[in-house]
A and B are shown apart, each in its own frame.
Chain A
Amino acid sequence: MSETLVLLIKIVVVLAWFLVLALLLTWVERKQSAVMQDRIGANRARIFGLRMFGLFQPFADAIKMIFKEDFVPPFADKVLHTLAPFVSFFFVAVAVTTIPFGPTVRIGGTAIDLQVYDGSAGLLFLLAMLSLGVYGILLSGWSSRNRWGLIGGMRGAAQLISYEVGLGLSLVGLIMVYPSLRLSEIVAHQGALFLGFLPRWGVFLQPLGFLVFFITAIAETKRVPFDLPEGESEIIGFYAEYGGLKWGLFMLTDFMEIIVVAALATTLFFGGWQMPWLGPDGLNWPWGGHWKMASWVVVCLQIVSFQVKVAFFCWLQILIRWTYPRIRYDQLMDLGWKLLVPLGLLNILGTGLIMSLK
């Protein structure tokens, strides 16, 4: 029974972390864009005169959206119209449960993995869930019976599936280096050092793989430079006929995808919760020195290390979103099929060649 209780607590904590971080990212996005464009950004929301740089803005937005009208257009497919935001939210949310947040912790004699689901095909499960996310877009575009919605849905689905091939290919090289589909084992493999000082992180062993992964993953979040399904300045996109919290769910999905991509980049290519040179008993400096630490300090440091890396990648994606202009549709498909897919294959062949010669 206590096992189920622990699992329940883990799920709730991960869910809370996920949703709060997604809400905070909406604020970060507004503030970041404001800084980059020399504006002030959201700063009005306050509780009892406490402004906190507008940090309450996302919560005010959420409350506003909850009390909006539930409007389903009379010409739309009612059931699918309601189902689409649910599907969009659900599969991204489920994907995050495979991410390891920290090492195995011992509390009162029981070992607890700081990870909700650690299946032997964990990475494939995650990819499968992300691939099902395409239905959210397809359904919203199709069930709205609105031409802009339909165009957005088609564009979105074609973009997502095109980049999914590149995403899958870029990860094959990584699996060759760390032979496991268990995300916890992939992270464990990245704890060792090579050349005496560099941690064995995926980004050092698979630089080309990381490049392909990151570009395809950003394209999967369908934000500027890859926001053609949405195109907020022209076709509105697949959620043209949505409002209120249902629209909010699509927006939330966007930010949740940012977090999943950041967490995945951290876990696969940047050592996950591993901190460079930090062993289970303290810091081992590569130039030969040793700082002894209590095990709980080490665990805390590792959890913080994961959070810092995820925060960095979230911020990096927002920076990219506000730096680059949208690319044209043919450029988008060319980039996906003619550059990233061959590069991904090349990465696999190169990795195979080097590893079989060694």
Chain B
Amino acid sequence: MTLALVFLIFGLLGAVMVSMNALLGPKKTNPVKEQPFECGSPPLQKGIPGFVIKFPLVVFLFVLFDIEVAFLFPWALIFREMKGPAFLILLAYAAVLAAGFVYAWRKGAFRWD
């Protein structure tokens, strides 16, 4: 209930702020204004060329490690109750993942040149 009210109020505020310019601002345009911003010089080519970047691999790794972190939170919560066994459980879990991390590192997944 609390969160629903929070989302409602914050959402309304955000919507008002986003639409304020449309309601209160002037409306004047010209062809130069409608060009894509290119640090002042006229654009040399239209559109955006497809370019290859190595970000997707990073995002992949992020997804996997994010899942791991999500599992670690409940583990941390009950660590006080279990102590030793919990530590061994994590050790086995982390060892496998550390192997993966080292593999990705050695294969150059974290090289950005």
Contacts and interface: CB of A to CB of B under 8 A. Distances in A.
Do A and B belong to a common assembly?
Answer: yes
Interface of A: 4, 7-8, 11-12, 15, 66-71, 73-75, 82, 85-86, 89-90, 93-94, 97, 116-117, 119, 123-124, 145-148, 150, 154, 157-158, 161-162, 164-165, 168-169, 172-173, 175-176, 179-181, 236, 240-241, 244-246, 249, 329-330, 333-334, 337-338, 341-342, 345, 348-349, 352-353, 355-356
Contacts of A94: 6-7, 10
B21 A68 contact: yes
A176 B62 contact: no
Contacts of B24: 66-67
Given A164-B62, A165-B69, A333-B58, 13 more contacts: A11-B5, A89-B17, A93-B10, A116-B6, A154-B53, A162-B62, A172-B76, A245-B18, A341-B101, A342-B101, A348-B72, A348-B76, A355-B83
B13 A147 contact: no
A169 B59 contact: no
A176 B59 contact: no
A179 B80 contact: yes
A245 B78 contact: no
A172 B72 CA distance: 7
Enumerate the 6 nearest inter-chain pairs by beta-carbon distance, A residue then B residue, closest first: A70-B21, A168-B69, A175-B76, A330-B112, A70-B22, A161-B62
Nearest to B112: A330
A333 B5 contact: no
Interface centre among B20, B26, B86, B94 (most CB of A within 10 A): B20
A241 B37 CA distance: 7
A204 B71 CA distance: 26
B27 A330 contact: no
A4 B9 CA distance: 13
A68 B25 contact: yes
B103 interface: no
B34 to A, nearest CB: 5
B100 interface: no
B96 interface: no
A7 B7 CA distance: 13
Given A161-B58, A172-B72, A179-B80, A334 B87 contact: no
Contacts of A68: 21, 25
A176 to B, nearest CB: 4
Which of B33, B34, B37, B38 neighbours the largest number of chain A CB atoms within 10 Å of its CB?
A: B37
